[in-house]
Amino acid sequence: MSSNYPFSYKLSWPARFLKPSLRGGVSAPAPAEAALLPRPEKSVRLAFVGDISAVANRQPPACDGDLNALLASADLVVGNCESPLVARPSARFGTRIGTHHAMTRTFLAGALEATGIAPGRLVLSLANNHVLDQGITGFDETLSALAALGIATIGTSTAVTRVGVGPLTLGLVAFTQWRNAAAADFAGRVAMTEDFFAGSRDGLPGAQEVDLMCAVPHWDWEFRHFPRDQTQAWAQRLAEFGVGLVAGHHAHVVQPMAKVGQTLVAYGLGDFLGTAFARQPWPGRVGAILVADVSADAATRGRIASYRLVPFMRLRDGDRERLVPLDKVQGPPGERARGRWAAVCGDGRTGLTS
């Protein structure tokens, strides 16, 4: 068996790709932005972005200056590396038609420069279904390429990765529900959901040694704006483990915020750079950046002081994409996208500032 998708998932994929579903809801919805504490004297800023791929791009993206400044203001950026980094794809036919992902080290470096993200303050998850699209050799090449760029990685094991962010220590875990290759190939290379939860029955080892635990799961069904019951149940378990912030991927469309106990959950951030096809239907072009300011004050150390989900749209610009804040997208496309954002995230706010 080369993948672990249920037959009903595979059967529904084309229809949902063409028309993403708005069915469902979340049990503990939260607004797209909120202040949770009085403004701390000292804080660090985290930014979480969605899936990153070169599938729909031949050139690095153009990025609106406001988005660029927002990402440049973050002390740490965390995202999902949806494509292996290889000099030359080994799965040539699949890569050509878009079923297999690949991007070059040069493309990623150019994309980071265009979006204001310094490699030294970036962490990328490799826990996703496409990470072995270019085989085990491609996986090894990806690890080497990211290391050469100075980019830290998570998701190759279920262990907590500790990252220093200014005066705080952040704990990061990542896992994937889905795989596109055999279980034996993923084993020992990529953290799977079942392995993560099986090894965390008594809590997350090392979680008490960090100021804030964050999880980056690759979960849920694609092209659904609202998470399934199983996904929400996993969010509940992460909250019970003491995870304070969850930033999910894989749905390729934006999903809502929720507050599960004291845990802030962004179920799905959509795509940061196009991961499907160059002519992807418009709902899949709306993505979000989750920005969280975390207190470094003694009394509230490690608590999220405020957050905001910042929506943007990826517009075609020749052989690349242009990332534009949602409130700057003009005409009917902008009105339609803002209506979808309001339907999913509730309050309809789309600005970069609160």
Domains of the chain: residue spans and CATH: 41-345 (3.60.21)
Span of 27-36, 84-93, 339-348 with lowest mean pLDDT: 339-348
Read off the pLDDT band of 280 (50, 70, 90).
confident
Type of residue numbered 51:
D
pLDDT of residue 95: 82
Q: Is the pLDDT of residue 353 over 50?
A: no
The mean pLDDT value of the chain amounts to 93
Reported residue count of the chain is 354
Tell me what the mean pLDDT of segment 328-339 comes to.
97
Tell me what the mean pLDDT of segment 85-104 comes to.
89
Which residue from 47, 58, 90, 97 is spatially nearest to 216, judged by alpha carbons? 47
Backbone conformation region of residue 346, classed left if phi is above 0, alpha if psi is from -120 to 50, else beta: left
Which residue from 249, 294, 245, 91 is spatially nearest to 155, judged by alpha carbons? 249
Using an 8 Å Cβ cutoff, are 235 and 258 in contact? yes
Main-chain phi, psi angles of 198, to 5 degrees: -65, -35
Contacts of 214 (CB under 8 A, 6+ apart): 46, 78, 170, 171, 172, 173, 243, 244, 245, 246, 247
Structure tokens at 299: 């009394």
Q: How many CA atoms lie within 13 A of 234 on its CB side?
A: 24
pLDDT of residue 347: 57
- Which residues pair with residue 152 across a beta bridge? 123
Per-residue HEC secondary structure of the chain comes to CCCCCCHHHHHHHHHHHHCCECCCCCCCEECCEEECCCCCCCEEEEEEEEEECCCCCCCCCEECHHHHHHHHCCCEEEEEECCCECCCCCCHHHHHHCCCCCECHHHHHHHHHHHCCCHHHEEEECCCCCCCCCHHHHHHHHHHHHHHHCCEEECCCCCCEEEEECCEEEEEEEEECCCCCCHHHHCCCCCEHHHHHHCCCCCCCCHHHCCEEEEEEECCCCCECCCCHHHHHHHHHHHHCCCCEEECECCCCECCEEEECCEEEECCECECCCCCCCCCCHHHHEEEEEEEEEECCCCCCCCEEEEEEEEEEEEEECCEEEEEEHHHCCHHHHHHHHHHHHHHHCCCCCCCCC
Span of 122-126, 166-170, 246-250, 272-276 with lowest mean pLDDT: 272-276
Which residue from 90, 135, 68 is spatially nearest to 322, judged by alpha carbons? 68
- Which residues pair with residue 247 across a beta bridge? 266
Read off the pLDDT band of 207 (50, 70, 90).
confident
Which residue from 209, 213, 218 is spatially nearest to 244, judged by alpha carbons? 213
Distance CA 9, CA 132 (A): 20
Span of 193-197, 226-230, 345-349 with lowest mean pLDDT: 345-349
pLDDT of residue 350: 43
pTM: 0.95
Q: Is the pLDDT of residue 169 over 80?
A: yes
pLDDT of residue 101: 92
Q: Is the pLDDT of residue 31 over 60?
A: yes
Q: Is the pLDDT of residue 339 over 90?
A: yes
Read off the pLDDT band of 354 (50, 70, 90).
very low
Span of 29-33, 131-135, 271-275 with lowest mean pLDDT: 271-275
Tell me what the mean pLDDT of segment 112-139 comes to.
97
Using an 8 Å Cβ cutoff, are 155 and 190 in contact? yes
Tell me what the mean pLDDT of segment 18-24 comes to.
95
Read off the pLDDT band of 151 (50, 70, 90).
very high
Read off the pLDDT band of 93 (50, 70, 90).
confident
pLDDT of residue 348: 42
Using an 8 Å Cβ cutoff, are 175 and 127 in contact? yes
Distance CA 136, CA 126 (A): 13
